[in-house]
Structures are given as structure tokens and as C-alpha cells.
């Protein structure tokens, strides 16, 4: 266990998170590592929250999270008031994987006799969570809201009120730009809404699609005389899922958006019927997507400006919908004209602000742009007397399919569905026929099994008699064997002794053969060593160090420990400038098994292929005559260096003359 703080909780009997009249009471155990630092038999929910902020525990452990809250919405609210690093752990698991607390406790070596009281239950939950057990409760869509706003009243300053206002707005703009740059530099996904004003911004709000802890070290809350930055986590409260066992007909929808500090949403279907109208302050794109996804499938996202806002483009991309922008920014007059036409047909429509109006106008403008395609689909479908998913055909046509392709796709589904229905009906008829046949076969089978049972019973009786006879025979043989063994004991002893001695002799012979082979090998090695010593002592051979490759560290170690003019390498690669420099400075030649031709002229160190050589551990023995070849290569290299030097000098003189003549 580490020294992190863990709160273990259990609700007291008679209390419930569902109660509206009184707050729940809990037993609380506080652990630091494996040590209990505090216990409370009875504390209220309000006091619990205060103590959480006092201790800032890493884990809040309960055996049932709904002892704390009554539903997912309440869970989201609870998370929003907890310290950022506090996580709720349900120690009994989750859903179908959940187990009784007693079972989980035994798994972690905790003995429980009978039903534990709330304080003991709180302690057990804390221990299990501190040992890494339980299930961390996470909410979908953890986001962070960053609010940049003014920190003082604009009424300050008397006659200099306008100057104060401009100063505050400029400060808000600068802070907004700094936060935007930090988010962009760290590749964090976000949306931003702001309210412009003369000289800067009145306020701005960032919705960052990352948990609060991802922003630690990047952005922190602060305030100065003009601006304050507020950062708070935002938690989702719903798990979104789809039942894919059956295909339902989802409406094709057009979503009109009017982004800003207040966002207008308008959803209409492909027949032009208004489905949803509303406007929100500081709503993020996840909430927009969740809202419209429940209504149907969005096929077009529309804006009332030719250059759509970034939020409109992002939502269009996430929903995999077409983005509609008018060829020009819609004027207020044109939007009002569209609204008048809509209100003639839908008189009870509540368009309570301009944001809803602009969003709805953009949605109808998008509908008008595809009206011809939809009318064509309707006219052609009337000619086909088949129950097809017309809505899906329209959606596919809007997404870019031709009418023929969309129709063919739905016909394939229709045929598959029809085939499946026929197969089920055919199977049902076969099952009915089969049940009648099976009943007749069942009666015949019973008769057959009865006769089989009678036959097997006769076989069992016969085998039982045979077993009894064999038992008697085995008993007689045991008596005879016991009598015979007493006579053969001495003979058996000597036979076993002789056998063991033979085995020992064979083992010794094998050991002698092995040692003879070792002696022969050692004599051969001694002979080779004597030959090597003779060759080296005669002065006609050299002993040079052997390396696997020309790494700088290995070459430097050889030079430091040996006064050598030659080294042998199995492979000259890799080779770098540092290695070349040290070989050239100490005038050391390289012997190798490969033929590298004139590479020595380029590298400016001798590289010589040697055929006759004797390897001995980390050394190689070669003929001394190789030194003369190495010396000749060094002379060639020195001559090449001299030629290069003269060429450089000549080039410098030539460049100098040309520069003087150009100046004259």
C-alpha cells in the first residue's frame, strides 16, 4: 500500500440517498496507507463533503455508489463538487460482475464473521480500495470549462469609465489569445464562444474536451485587477447505447445552427416539419450532438453564413453529415421572409429569439436546396408498389448516392428480410412435420432400448460369475508365489549384485574414454600453442589485437592498453569520424577479411585484406611482412594529403586573384 488517503463509507440504517426530507448519514473510516487515522460512527452528508475538501482523499470507497446519490445526474453533480484528484470506487464491482462484500473481502484476506456493522463495512471498503480493488466510477464525456471574464466593475473610474472598459476588454482578449495558443500547442480539442465589444472582448468561454487533470501545468485559475480565469470540470451523466438487434426507421434531419455566446438550434425533417427549436447559453458540442441524435439521423448541418463558424464544421464532421452554406450571407430580411412562410403553415411555432430564427432559416434554406432531389424520389417511389424504407432512400440520395443505387440498396435489404421470413416459415412447417415423425420414432426407440437392457443384464450376470472365478484363481496363485520366493531369495541377491557391478564397470570405461579424448584435445592445443610461441619468438610473426568492429570506445581501449600499429576487425562497419581521427593520429592500420579496394584512399587509413592468419582468443597472428604494405599505404596517404593541401592553397590564391581583378 502507498501513503495515499482513502475514505471508506457506508450509509447508516434508516437513511437513503432517495430521501427528499433529510440528508443521509454515514459511517466513515479514513486510511493513510494501511493505518487508520480517523473513524466516525455518524456524520452527515454535508459534513462528509467538508471533510473531503479538508483531507482531499485519492479514493472515496463505497460498496454501493447509489448510497451516495440517487441517479447518474446526481453522480455528475457530486463529481463536480469533489476535489479534482478524488475518484469514487465501488468495491463490490459493477453490473453483472458485482459480488457480495464478504466474498470480495475474503479475496483480499479479510475475515468477516456475520454481517458487519456500518463502521466495519466502511473499513473493509477502504482496505479493498487501497489494495487496488473495486471499480472506479467514471462518467462519460469529462470536459473542462474555462471562463475568462472581468474582475472588477466597469463603473470604476468616474469620468474615465470608457478608458477602464477598453482596458478590461483588451485584457480579456489577450488572456483569451494566450489560452487559445496553449490549447493549440498541446493539440487539445476545444470549442470557444465569445462576446465581442469595442476594443476587445466582454468575455469568452472555452469548452475543452479533456478531463481537468490534463490541463494541470498548462492553464491554472488566476485573477488580476482586470481579468479572472475560472476553471471547472464538467461531467456528463449518461451512457449512450444503441440496440442493434433490430433496424428501426430513423428520420432524416436537417440541423440549423447559429453559434455564439448563445447558440440557436433548429431541427426539421426532410418534409419540412419542425422537430426541435431551442437556444442555449454556453452549450458544448457534445450536448448538441446528444440532443439531436435522439431525434433521428442528421444528414445536413446548415449555417446562415457563406463561411461557416468552426463549431458548425466540427459538428458536421462528427455527425458525418453534409455541410450546407448559402452562396452568400443571409440578410435579416431574407431570414424574416423565410420565417413568415414557415409561420403561415405552423402558426403555433414559438420562435422566441433571433438565434432560433437564424438557425431555423438556415435549416429551411438547406431544405430548399435539395427539394428537387426529394421530389424526384417521392415521384419515382410511387411507381413501385413495395413497402420500402423511403426515408433511408432519401438519406442516401442526400449523401451522394444516385436514386438507382439507393433504391438497389433498399431492395437488397427488402429481399433479405423477405428471404429470412420465408426461411423461418419453412423451418416452422418442417418442425411441425418433424415432431409427428419424432413421436413415432420415440415409441420404437423405447421398445428397442428395453430389449437392449435385457440383453445387457444377461451379459452383466455372466461377467460377474467370471470375475468370481478369477478372484479364486488369483488367491491360489498368490499362495504359490509366496512359497516359490522363499527358495529364490539368495540367488536373486547375487544376480542383482553382479548386475550392479557390471553397470559400474561400464560407467568407469565411459569416463576413461572421455578423459582420453580430453587428453588428446589438450595435447593438440599444446602443440598449436608451441607452434604459435615459436613463430612469434622467431620475429617473423606479429600478435595483434582483434575487434568485432571499429566502434570508437573499443578502438580507444585497445590504444590505451597496447602499443600497436595494427588491429584486426571482423567488420569495419560502423565507422565514424572520431574513430578515423584516432586511427590516423596514432597511424594504426586495419586488417580485415574483406576486400575494400581503394576505400583506404577515401578514409585515409590503411585497410588491408589478409588471407593467412591464425586466430587465438582476442588476438590474431599474422606474417610480419604485412608491416611493409602498411607503411607503403601510409606513404600513399601522406602523398594524397600533401596534394590536397597544395590544391587548397592554389584554390585560395586563385580566388584571391579573381577577387582583386573584379575590384579593379
- Which backbone phi and psi does 160 adopt, to 5 degrees? -95, 25
Q: Where do the domains of the chain lie, and which CATH numbers do they carry?
A: 5-136 (3.30.420.10), 143-234 (3.30.70), 252-369 (3.30.420.140), 388-536 (no CATH), 541-647 (no CATH)
Count of CB atoms situated within 10 Å of the CB of 626? 20
- Least confident piece of the model among 435-444, 516-525, 542-551: 435-444
Q: pLDDT tier at 155 (50, 70, 90 boundaries)?
A: low
pLDDT at 114 (0 to 100): 76
Mean pLDDT of 541-559: 84
What span, in angstroms and rounded, lies between the C-alpha atoms of 336 and 465? Answer: 108
Q: pLDDT tier at 360 (50, 70, 90 boundaries)?
A: very high
Cis upstream peptide for 574 (omega within 30°): yes
Task: Say whether pLDDT at 255 is over 90.
Answer: yes
354 SS3 class:
helix
- pTM: predicted TM-score of the whole model, two decimal places: 0.43
Task: Say whether pLDDT at 486 is over 60.
Answer: no
Q: pLDDT tier at 430 (50, 70, 90 boundaries)?
A: low
Please state whether beta strands 566-571 and 589-592 pair in parallel, antiparallel, or not at all (unpaired): parallel
pLDDT at 244 (0 to 100): 31
Task: Say whether pLDDT at 18 is over 80.
Answer: no
pLDDT in tens, 168-197: 888 899 999 999 999 999 888 888 888 888
Report in angstroms the alpha-carbon separations of 128 from 12, 85, 100, 131, 599: 20, 19, 13, 5, 69
Mean pLDDT of 546-559: 84
Task: Say whether pLDDT at 129 is over 80.
Answer: yes
Mean pLDDT of 118-122: 91
CA angle at residue 425 from 421 to 428, to 5 degrees? 140
pLDDT at 433 (0 to 100): 57
Buried b (16+ CB within 10 A) or exposed e, 39-76: ebeebebeebeebbeebebbbbbbbbbbbbbeebeebb
pLDDT at 246 (0 to 100): 39
Higher pLDDT, 275 or 418: 275
- Which backbone phi and psi does 89 adopt, to 5 degrees? -120, 125
Mean pLDDT of 384-388: 70
What span, in angstroms and rounded, lies between the C-alpha atoms of 568 and 216? Answer: 57
pLDDT at 239 (0 to 100): 35
In residues, how long is the chain? Answer: 664
Q: What is the DSSP letter of 250?
A: P
Top mean pLDDT of 85-89, 98-102, 112-116 is at 85-89
* CB 265, CB 280: distance < 8 Å: yes
Helix (H) or strand (E) segment spanning residue 433: helix 403-537
Average pLDDT, the chain: 81
Higher pLDDT, 444 or 565: 565
Report in angstroms the alpha-carbon separations of 502 from 496, 498, 506: 10, 6, 6
DSSP output for 143-185: EEEEEEEESS-TTTTGGGHHHHHHHHHHHHHHHHHHHHHHHHH
pLDDT at 349 (0 to 100): 83
Q: Tell me the percentage of the chain whose pLDDT exceeds 70.
A: 83
* CB 36, CB 29: distance < 8 Å: yes
> Roughly what angle, to the nearest 10 degrees, separates helices 371-382 and 403-537?
110
pLDDT at 362 (0 to 100): 94
- Which backbone phi and psi does 445 adopt, to 5 degrees? -70, -40
Count of CB atoms situated within 10 Å of the CB of 389? 17
What span, in angstroms and rounded, lies between the C-alpha atoms of 87 and 595? Answer: 68
pLDDT at 245 (0 to 100): 36
391 SS3 class:
helix
Q: pLDDT tier at 12 (50, 70, 90 boundaries)?
A: very high
pLDDT at 552 (0 to 100): 84
Higher pLDDT, 324 or 554: 324
Half-sphere exposure of 77 (CA within 13 A, CB side): 7
- Which backbone phi and psi does 547 adopt, to 5 degrees? -125, 155
What span, in angstroms and rounded, lies between the C-alpha atoms of 155 and 163? Answer: 11
Find, among 190, 161, 160, 156, the residue nearest to 176 by Cα: 190
Mean pLDDT of 5-26: 87
Q: Tell me the percentage of the chain whose pLDDT exceeds 90.
A: 17
Higher pLDDT, 405 or 459: 405
What span, in angstroms and rounded, lies between the C-alpha atoms of 544 and 564? Answer: 7
pLDDT in tens, 600-638: 777 888 988 888 888 877 888 888 888 888 888 888 888
pLDDT in tens, 395-416: 988 888 887 788 778 777 777 7
Amino acid at each position: 500500500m502507498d501513503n495515499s488517503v482513502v475514505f471508506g463509507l457506508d450509509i447508516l440504517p434508516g437513511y437513503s440517498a432517495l430521501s427528499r426530507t433529510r440528508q443521509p448519514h454515514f459511517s466513515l473510516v479514513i486510511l493513510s496507507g494501511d493505518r487508520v487515522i480517523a473513524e466516525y460512527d455518524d456524520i452527515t452528508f454535508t459534513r462528509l463533503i467538508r471533510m473531503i475538501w479538508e483531507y482531499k482523499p485519492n479514493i472515496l470507497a463505497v460498496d454501493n455508489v447509489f448510497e451516495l446519490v440517487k441517479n447518474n445526474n446526481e453522480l455528475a453533480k457530486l463529481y463536480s463538487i469533489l476535489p479534482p484528484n478524488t475518484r469514487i470506487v465501488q468495491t463490490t464491482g459493477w453490473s453483472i460482475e458485482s459480488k457480495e462484500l464478504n466474498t470480495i473481502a475474503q479475496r483480499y484476506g479479510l475475515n468477516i464473521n456475520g454481517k458487519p456493522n456500518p463502521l466495519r463495512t466502511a473499513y473493509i471498503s477502504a482496505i479493498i480500495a487501497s489494495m487496488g480493488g473495486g471499480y472506479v466510477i467514471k462518467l462519460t464525456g469529462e470536459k473542462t470549462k474555462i471562463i475568462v471574464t472581468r474582475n472588477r466593475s466597469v463603473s470604476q473610474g468616474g469620468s474615465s469609465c470608457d478608458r477602464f472598459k477598453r482596458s478590461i476588454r483588451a485584457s480579456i482578449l489577450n488572456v483569451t489569445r494566450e489560452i487559445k495558443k496553449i490549447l493549440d500547442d498541446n493539440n487539445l480539442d476545444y470549442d470557444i464562444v465569445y462576446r465581442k465589444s469595442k476594443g476587445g472582448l466582454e468575455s469568452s468561454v472555452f469548452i475543452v474536451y479533456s478531463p481537468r487533470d490534463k490541463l494541470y501545468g498548462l492553464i491554472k485559475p488566476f485573477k488580476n485587477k482586470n481579468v479572472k480565469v475560472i476553471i471547472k470540470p464538467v461531467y456528463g451523466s449518461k451512457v449512450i447505447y444503441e440496440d442493434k438487434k433490430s433496424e428501426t426507421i430513423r428520420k432524416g434531419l436537417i440541423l440549423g445552427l447559429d453559434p455564439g455566446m448563445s447558440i440557436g438550434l433548429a431541427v426539421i425533417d426532410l418534409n419540412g416539419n419542425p422537430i426541435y427549436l431551442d437556444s442555449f447559453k454556453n452549450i458544448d458540442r457534445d450536448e448538441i450532438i446528444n440532443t439531436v441524435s435522439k431525434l433521428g439521423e442528421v444528414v445536413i448541418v446548415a449555417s446562415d453564413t457563406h463561411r461557416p463558424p468552426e463549431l458548425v464544421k466540427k459538428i458536421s464532421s462528427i455527425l458525418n453529415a453534409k455541410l450546407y452554406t448559402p452562396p452568400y450571407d443571409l440578410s435579416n430580411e431574407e431570414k424574416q421572409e423565410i420565417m413568415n412562410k414557415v409561420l403561415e403553415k405552423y402558426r403555433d411555432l414559438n420562435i422566441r429569439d433571433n438565434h432560433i430564427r437564424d438557425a431555423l432559416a438556415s435549416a429551411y434554406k438547406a431544405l430548399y436546396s435539395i427539394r428537387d432531389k426529394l421530389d424526384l424520389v417521392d415521384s419515382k417511389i410511387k411507381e413501385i408498389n413495395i413497402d420500402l424504407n423511403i426515408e433511408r432512400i432519401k438519406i442516401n440520395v442526400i449523401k451522394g448516392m444516385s436514386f438507382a443505387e439507393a433504391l438497389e440498396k433498399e431492395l437488397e435489404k427488402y429481399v433479405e428480410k423477405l428471404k429470412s421470413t420465408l426461411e423461418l416459415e419453412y423451418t416452422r412447417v418442417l418442425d411441425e412435420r418433424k415432431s409427428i415423425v419424432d413421436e413415432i420414432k420415440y415409441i420404437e426407440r423405447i421398445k428397442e432400448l428395453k430389449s437392449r437392457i435385457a440383453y445387457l443384464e444377461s451379459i452383466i450376470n455372466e461377467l460377474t460369475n467370471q470375475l468370481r472365478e478369477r478372484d479364486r484363481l488369483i488367491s491360489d496363485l498368490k499362495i504359490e508365489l509366496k512359497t516359490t520366493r522363499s527358495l529364490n531369495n539368495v540367488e536373486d541377491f547375487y544376480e542383482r549384485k553382479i548386475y550392479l557391478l557390471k553397470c559400474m564397470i561400464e560407467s568407469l570405461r565411459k569416463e576413461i574414454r572421455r578423459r582420453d579424448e580430453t587428453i588428446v584435445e589438450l595435447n593438440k592445443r599444446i602443440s598449436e600453442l608451441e607452434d604459435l610461441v615459436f613463430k612469434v619468438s622467431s620475429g617473423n610473426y606479429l600478435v595483434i589485437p582483434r575487434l568485432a568492429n571499429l566502434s570508437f570506445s573499443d578502438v580507444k581501449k585497445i590504444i590505451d592498453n597496447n602499443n600497436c600499429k595494427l588491429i584486426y576487425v571482423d567488420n569495419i562497419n560502423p565507422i565514424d569520424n572520431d574513430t578515423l581521427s584516432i586511427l590516423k593520429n596514432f597511424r594504426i592500420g586495419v586488417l580485415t577479411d574483406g576486400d575494400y579496394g581503394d576505400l583506404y584512399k577515401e578514409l585515409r587509413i590503411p585497410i588491408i585484406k589478409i588471407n593467412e592468419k591464425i586466430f587465438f582468443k582476442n588476438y590474431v597472428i599474422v606474417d610480419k611482412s604485412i608491416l611493409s604494405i602498411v607503411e607503403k599505404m601510409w606513404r600513399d596517404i601522406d602523398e594524397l594529403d600533401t596534394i590536397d593541401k597544395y590544391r587548397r592553397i592554389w584554390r585560395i590564391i586563385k580566388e584571391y586573384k579573381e577577387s582583386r581583378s573584379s575590384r579593379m
